[in-house]
Structure 1
């Protein structure tokens, strides 16, 4: 359908001559807002998706939208819930931001909890791989995914502009519509958007259960993933006032969804979120600071888990986050930003499957980032962050949470350094070295109960200490006009990686056969898992290249290649860590001529045999995709009509990164059509 600039390197070329459409932009000339100093070249590996690149990759969940980016996998809990995993790290090690500020939800608590966001409303997604805790907190120890929606317009709007989109098809027969309208007079700007999506049970090749767990007498569903249908609706209203040296604005957004839990037949999740945001920036100031930026958000979130029409458990999370960044005047060749961040969230779970107590979490942090243009070829950066976290539980007299009787406080410190050296006009070298600390979350400290979505009885440890990691990246980047991309390696050593480790015990609880792990026990109990601090090691390679093959009267031809590989090990037990994606290789052949665009994609994933003893392996797979798009104008509006096919050979795909790998395969063959307009 659309052109998607992905990049990989000549080394990656040798590494992988097969495979899918990834659309990273490692050497994008655009400014990455993850760097408040405005540099287009981050030392940290980063990817930007926007425009037609993002349009091509959009799926119903954030995890699936980003799943083919280098270093990014998906938790995949069916079409209703999927969260990104970066370099094998997930949950509260990945910071999900909305316009630079955290939007509270419960998606990190459980794999069946969706991120309350429809990617169709997003205009830009930035991914920073590796530790980004310096600016965004200890729970960005694995990386950051920042989405931007322009609901508070940060640049003036003069006149009326907008966009609309319709989609139909796919393996779940999606019916999707979305639109936005923006208007302004150069000073005042208004933004309105709305979206709706409905989808049926997912079509899959063969049985939902894999041969490793399928019972010959009760094989389960075939060709359909039961209870995977759903809907999601949303909308927003925002506005801003602009003046010569800044702006200020407010927005309100609403998200509402209802979807089935593919792990629990008959269970629905009914989710609602209200989000209020404020953003402002003052530029060209006199005095010690040249600009000041303030972002703040308040979120009221809840979802109810409904079985047979009755609400069994209700999860609520409400709170706020605010951050200020002040850029100081240059000190010779040194530029820098000082900042502060404060947040509070109040989490509660009520009902028979509540496995965590009511908890209030307060965080306050100070950070700085300095960048030194040392020579014409060398840029250096150094930053630090100090963060105080207080986690205050309240068991409400419930004996289940008797140990949640006192608050825990943590002081975390992070330090990071980076360098980008321009070797010549084509090649550059980027390096990072960092030390990061993360305070344990409320569920790692105080969980105590059966967690049906994971098929485990989860037990926290109130005596857990901070998670600590030393991390490094080294990447070679290149752009000679024909090839543009990078190849890099990364390494992280955790001194106290907080993992959910099996104890070998059985506990009373509901036994739903879904997780895809070997439960050698009867129906009188479920396996007990405890949050424990262990030593762990993560390392791997990521590479991407966009190779401009030819440009002539027959059109423009380009080959986009990418690959990634991550290994992770529990150094205390000697076992591999769970849910790590295998070697993945992607390729896409892109053609453009006048108003036409087309591409053919191949994605290959190797089998994953490196796993803990209590998990099952996954087979490798190779999938084929293709798309074609046509652009045309109607009056003053621009239109794009497209057709996109995925997994055209109808392969059975089971993600090693998914806890449901053995009962919820990825979609089978699908074809989707769409129409998009901008004016």
Structure 2
């Protein structure tokens, strides 16, 4: 007899069995990172979700660092984190991808670099890359769920914080550094980077540089899916085996330094990023991106009085990218401004231990040329926040946080008739959260969260009015939009006992006035005139509107050691992880777009001395819950194998690795990708890398 299992039923069953869950070897869901080796346990504090550095946090979080960060480096931040519990990717070819957390992307995911927001244009359009190369990242922290109490309404989906140590926060003894290189067969990708740090008295200096170049991506079959080819005109070109216009290159680097004293430091850095890559959705279109960033960081510790510790982060960014079609600049996007954050840890007030702070920013965005989708807009914001912990008893810790933000948006329509009448808007948004951690015994803990979040509409949700080639739409904003409001809950169960660990969580978020792109059924041309569906240049009109929406789902991860012997330090570990998200428009009952289906991943690794070998399999179910006029996505199964070996040579530490991805050459199309029916993921690929630390 054949039984059909609904994905939601399977997700709930698995979520209720936490002993089967896991993440990548160096990830975990509390404040510690488990370095999966026979050498023991490495503790790494998740500062993004846990500035108080308590043993457990109420927010589900994952850290990627060390060996696994090196082995899992990808061309984009979104692809590198894809597959972690609750994390998928927007997927716009091999050079562009932002993380999606629990089905939410764009302005609902806060991207941070050393604790300060990244100033770019990646949330505006799916074809805009994040100006950051993964080779420069030392650690990534992913916080799932409502992190609004610390980072505002833009973090309703979660926070991704990357660290690069370009401003040293610890004194450096002597001269140290690293160099890293890798080659990948999927697109002939060649990349390399080096970092050098040195100490001189109270000073520490940092320098790094990177470069990367790749060709067009090799794919298993046709670039366009079978469903899409059936809708295409009979004479439409159907590329196969390679994804056209998917090549690119990037380079950049930084110089930084810090001055240290007994109880603190202060430092500066200057960094650059330059890239040129193709838009896989638009033949002949290249995107040339440049960013210059100046950052300041300081921390003062062990202060006597009501304040014990103060941290300051400030960054000024000058960002520009040009969309070049057939050698001519079509549109130039610019985003220039600064963001700062001051965070203070106060002395204990009775049982309360907490932090409070101020965050502020001022940015000016402009888009000039053929795709002037939005007017030049200056956005100013300032926010006050606090987070308090109360250790009620040995097993129970409570937390409460809140934040209020004031944001003003000032558009300048200029001479473009599409933006005449755009008016200033200002908003005051408040958010609050309460949470609890209860240790049932030394191994088991329960976490619970509840939050209310308000998110201010962005400039493109308010003022957009123009063709958007990346999504093939004519987007229209609504300057009368009100704040997005959401109520969220999260319940988690954590187990940890040596090499055995597991975490499972279920969550629910209900939105009032969820700001969504809704197709109106009408069509416009590039000039904004209404046309018929079959007219040349017809684009479906989409308007930003507020609807009632809900998201719910489950995540789980866990690891177990099957066998261990002292002979050659051998061990065998197994792990399992998975997630499921359901998202719908409560007004119409329709599914929201680009939601990842139920995914399961299982892995087994074998250690002998320092050699680690690993085999893993991932299965994603088909995504058939899609909005009207959207195409469903087929499921896929991917097999990967990895081997890594650290060794010493000439008194230096080396790490060599080789990984084979998508060994069966499966046709993989992420349901979360806006280009899933135009641009599949890479076919069978082998990647080899080498890293030296000195």
Q: How does the TM-score come out when normalised to structure 2? A: 0.93
Task: Give, in whole Å, the separation in 2 of the partners of 1:108 and 1:637.
Answer: 41
Match of 1:488 in 2: 505
- Tell me which residue corresponds to 1:138: 153
Aligned-residue offset at 1:594: 1.1
Q: Which residue of 1 aligns with 2:259?
A: 241
- How many angstroms does 1:179 deviate by? 0.6
What is the aligned residue count? 664
Superposed displacement of residue 480, structure 1: 2.5
Q: In the alignment, what sits opposite 1:109?
A: 124
Give a deviation string over 1:322-364, Cα, whole Å, max 9, x none.
1111111111221111101110100000001111000000001
1:196 match: 211
> Which secondary structure state, in structure 1, belongs to the residue aligned with residue 418 of structure 2?
helix
| Structure 1 residue 219: Cα displacement | 4.7
Bigger RCO of structures 1 and 2 (CA < 8 A, at least 6 apart)? 1
Q: 1:19 to 1:320 in 2, by over 3 A?
A: closer
Say yes or no: does 1:302 pair with 2:325: no
> What is the alpha-carbon root mean square deviation over aligned residues?
1.9
Matched residues in 2 for 1:349 and 1:233: separation? 24
Residue 344 of structure 2 is aligned with which of 326, 337, 349?
A: 326
Q: Does 1:82 align with 2:100?
A: no
What's the offset of the Cα at 1:185? 3.3
| 1:53 is aligned to 2:56 | no
Which residue, out of 528, 548, 558, partners 1:535?
Answer: 548
Alignment partner of 1:607 is 2:622:
yes
In the other structure, the counterpart of 1:546 is 559
Matches within 5 A, 1:409-424: 409-424=426-441
2:522 — aligned with what?
505
Residue from 273, 277, 282 that aligns with 1:264 = 282
What does 1:340-355 align with in structure 2 at a 5 Å threshold? 340-355=358-373
Counterpart-to-counterpart distance in 2, 1:129 and 1:22:
18
Instruction: Describe the SS at the equivalent of 1:237.
Output: strand
1:64 maps to which of 79, 87, 91? 79
Deviations 1:467-487 (A, max 9, x none): 000001000000133520201
Give, in whole Å, the separation in 2 of the partners of 1:18 and 1:427: 14
Unaligned runs of 5+ in 1: 1-7, 512-518
What's the offset of the Cα at 1:522? 4.4
Task: Find the aligned partners of 1:599 and 1:305 in 2 and give their Cα distance.
Answer: 41
Q: What does residue range 12-31 of structure 1 map to in structure 2 within 5 Å?
A: 24-27=27-30, 28=32, 29-31=43-45
169-178 or 532-541, which deviates more: 169-178
* 1:9–1:429 distance in 2 versus 1, CA, 3 Å: farther
Measure the CA separation in 1 of the matches of 2:328 and 2:235: 31
Cα deviation, residue 12, structure 1: 5.2
Classify 1:652/1:634 alpha carbon distance in 2 versus 1 (closer, same or farther; 3 Å): same
Contact 2:63 2:141 in 1 (8 A): yes
Structure 2 match to 1:396? 414
Cα distance change on mapping 1:360 and 1:169 into 2, 3 Å: same
Are 1:339 and 2:357 matched, yes or no? Answer: yes
Cα distance in structure 2, aligned partners of 1:331 and 1:9: 41
SS in 1 for 2:68: helix
Relative to structure 1, the CA distance from residue 571 to residue 18 in structure 2 (aligned partners, 3 Å threshold; closer, same or farther) is same
Compute the displacement of 1:170 (Å). 3.3
Q: How does 1:372-521 map to 2 (within 5 A)?
A: 372-404=390-422, 406-509=423-526, 521=534
For the 8 Å contact 1:132–1:144, the answer to whether it is kept is yes
Q: How far 1:218 sits from its partner (Å)?
A: 2.9
- Which among 43, 47, 57 is matched to residue 42 of structure 1? 57
Number of the residue aligned with 1:669: 684
| 2:248 is equivalent to residue 230 of structure 1 | yes
